[in-house]
Structures are given as structure tokens and as C-alpha cells.
Amino acid sequence: MMMNAVQYEESLRKLNLKVYMFGQRVTNVVDDPIIRPSMNAVAQTYELAHKPEHEDIMTAVSHLTGKKINRFTHIHQNVTDLVKKSKMGRLMGAHTGCCFQRCVGMDALNALSMTTYDIDQKYGTGYNARFLEYLLYVQENDLTCDGAMTDPKGDRSLAPHQQHDPDLYLRVVAEKPDGIVVRGAKAHQTGAVNSHEIIVMPTLTMRPADSDYAISFALPADADGITYIIGRQSCDTRKLEGKTFDIGNVLYGGHEALVVFDDVFVPWDRVFMYREYDFSGQLVEQFASYHRQSYACKVGVGDVLIGAAQTIAEFNGTDKTSHVRDKIIEMNQLNETLFCGTIACASEGHREPSGTYSVNTLLANVHKQNVTRFPYEIARLAQDIAGGLMVTLPSEKDLDSPEVGQWIRKYFQTREDVPLENRMRILRLIENLTLGTAAVGYLTESMHGAGSPQAQRIMISRQANMSIKVKQARKLCGISEND
């Protein structure tokens, strides 16, 4: 069954999540004014799947059942699937203007479909069959999965087993006849409390001494022993002020959480890797490649920011000036270059032994490396066009004040045919995208999401095939292969 937005919201109300924010337990996660906008964004991944105009991009046919499913639960069966995934990311980013939080789970499912198969081929284990049963459950119920990879890591110069606190990487602490017990935490978990399931993966390549950390499993988001601690974001408490355009994006938002596993039991049928340390690096790299492709979402958010920059230029009466027009062109050029990258790594995808199609690793990492840079330049240009009022603007309450509202209306009015409220709204949106809560998803996540910039550079150095490049150069200038 493919859920719609209303059904998704109701499904979350049935969960019994243990969530803390600002030092207090959140008793109603769905309706909390700070968390609610992020839930609204995820809900659109369900709602758009029912729109005829988006059906081709937002839905797919399950290779397990032949039924129509939400593409966020699909395992890529060909290059076309990979391309549609990129287009879906841009569509959702433009529709919500923020992170819509469902990509990490989709990428985790696809990575596990390949790694579990390969482990089975080497060791004769039954992980892939377990995984496919789990995948069927996710597809049939149209579930949102949180992909949990990043550990707190402690001292980065030390391996997991060398840390002063062994729980700084999530690990197995006990084995039972019916499952395992795990302890640790996963950090920076996007959309965690909007998810039905949490899929845990190792965060780096493990060695034999770290085999207790080489684990992957899935659990219901409200399993006993799991606690969520919501992270702070810039301007987050503006959402507590009610429906005000000072929020910037008045419809959607995002959240991040630290997810703590305090001796959590995992049944064997939910375990997809257990101490196979030699496959931990493969799972990390396959997931990372998929997730770096997923940053097509930043292209969609970039579309929104470019539209906002054009709008404020028109409101300010500067849209016809040559330097503003040139900046808008540059913003579009940078944004479309990002789109080229995500389409390229999808178009050059290939079939893995499991049957799942994976992206081109080199091009996915090149794309993500560009994502660590171009959104920052797009944001800088948007701030340039917007002007300083973006960060010195009085509040909506001041605009409505009988004492000072008249002065705001007098001195911040631009064109006579542009309502001041509209000018203030678009400035707040630009602030939100480049400095406020949405900047977490558009800028900081562009830098550190799916691995640090250095992680991508390492993968680029591995995948660039320098020996062929050197051979070609030497051949053309007459250097012998023996020289």
C-alpha cells in the first residue's frame, strides 16, 4: 500500500518514540511546532507519489512483487531508475525548499541489497534472504527508514576498539540465542523522529580487532532502549512564535538528532551483517556513492534560492541591472552543473552481481565534491542580491505594531506596486535558506553530509585511474613504455 500524507502522519502517531529537546521529553512529536515542519516535508514524499504529473518519477514497480511502490522504497533495476532517482531528488528539493529526509533510508536499502548478497557468496550466510524479507515489509507498508551510519567517533586518530570509551562507535555487547544486544549512538541523524524504521550500518572500514563494530541491522524506530535527542538549529525557536513569515519557509523544514542505543536487543531476522569486518568498507562505500548521488536535492533547493534572488531583485527594482542579471546567470550555471553531475553518475551506472544497479563511483564523488562548494557560492550571490536588510529586518510583530509599524512601512517600502509584506517574506526565505534552519540542509549538509569533502577526494584519487592517463600522455609525446 502506498500511503498518502494523511496516512503517513497517522502512522507516526502510533509510534512511542522517546524524544528529548531543550532538556525536556517531547510528549507529542508529530504536533511539536519545531519538529512538525520536518514531518510536513517527509509527508510530501508520500503526497507527490499520488499526483499523476509526478507518478513516473515518484513511483516504481517492485522487483519483488510487481506492484507499484513509492520510489523511496525501490531497489534500482536499471540506469533509468538511477536517473529518475536524481530527478526525484531535484523535484522534492524544489517542492519543499529543504531536506525531505527520506533519501538516506533509500540509499541504505540499495547498499544492503548488494553487500548482503556479496557476503552470502563468500561465507554462505543468509543475510540477503533476511534483507529481502525486510525490504518486502518496507515496501508493502511504504515505510520511511532512517539510515544511521555516522558514529560519534571520539578521537579520530584511534580505531574503534582503541577509544577510551568503547561505546563511541556502536557495537555488539552481547550475543543471545535469538539475537544480539547493541550499545552506542549514531549522530547527525536527519529526519530520525519522522521515521518508522532505523537502519544501522558501520561508519568506516573495520579491521579484525574491530569486528564487534562491523554490524548492520534494522529496528522499529520506537524499539526499547532507543532515545532521540534533537539538535539545535539556527533560528529554530522562531517556530514557537506561531504562524509568522519570520520563519522564512512557512511550510517545511528539517531536523537532526543524536540517536542513543542503550543495550538494545536486535532479533536475528533483522541482522544483515555480524562481524564480517572485511565487508564493512564495501557497505560504507556503496552507501556513500548512492548518497552522494542523492545530493540532487540541493539542486532543487538551489532552484528555490535562485527564484528568491530573482524575486527580491524585482521587488528592489534591480532586476534589470547588468551585474544582477549576471549573478543570476552564474547561480543558474552553478546549479545546473550540479545537476549534470548527479545525472552523469546515474547515467554511467552499472549492474552489480546482486542485480541492483549502482552509480558510477568516481562521478558520484565528483558530483558531491562540487556540492561542497557550489551551494555556498549560490548562497553568497543570493545574499549579495538581497542586500543587508535580509539580516537587519525587524520582525513581523514590529510590522503589526501600532507604535512602530508605520515607520517600517514607510522606510522599507520599495516599488509602489510591491506590498512590503511580500518583500519581507522573500527576504526571510533567503535568510532561512542561507543562514537559518534550512541552511543546515542546504549548506552545512552540503559540506559534511554523505562524508566530509576529504572522503570524496580520497575516493576520487582511488577511482581516477592515473596509470591510464599517464600512459596516454607518454604515448602521445613519444616516451617509450620502458623509459
Q: Active-site residue among 291, 342, 431, 442?
A: 291
Q: Active-site residue among 9, 197, 256, 276?
A: 256
Q: Active-site residue among 73, 74, 96, 103?
A: 103
- Exposure of 179 in the CB half-sphere (CA atoms within 13 A): 15
Q: Active-site residue among 252, 277, 295, 442?
A: 295
Query: DSSP letters along 396-464, please?
Result: HHHHH-TTTHHHHHHHS--STTS-HHHHHHHHHHHHHHHTSHHHIIIIIHHHHTTS-HHHHHHHHHHHS
- Mapped onto helix, strand or coil, the DSSP state of residue 80 is helix
Question: 3-state SS string over 190-235?
Answer: ECHHHCCEEEECCCCCCCHHHHHHCEEEEEECCCCCEEEEECCCCC
Report which residue type is found at 252. Answer: Y
Q: Active-site residue among 190, 311, 342, 437?
A: 190
**47 is an active site residue:** no
Q: Active-site residue among 45, 95, 99, 396?
A: 99
Q: Active-site residue among 297, 311, 356, 396?
A: 297
CA distance 94 to 88: 10
CB 346 within 8 A of CB 86: yes
**256 is an active site residue:** yes
**297 is an active site residue:** yes
**127 is an active site residue:** no
CA distance 303 to 89: 12
39 by Cβ neighbours in 10 Å (0-12 / 13-18 / 19+) ranks as buried
**99 is an active site residue:** yes
Residues marked active site are found at 99, 103, 190, 256, 291, 295, 297, 445
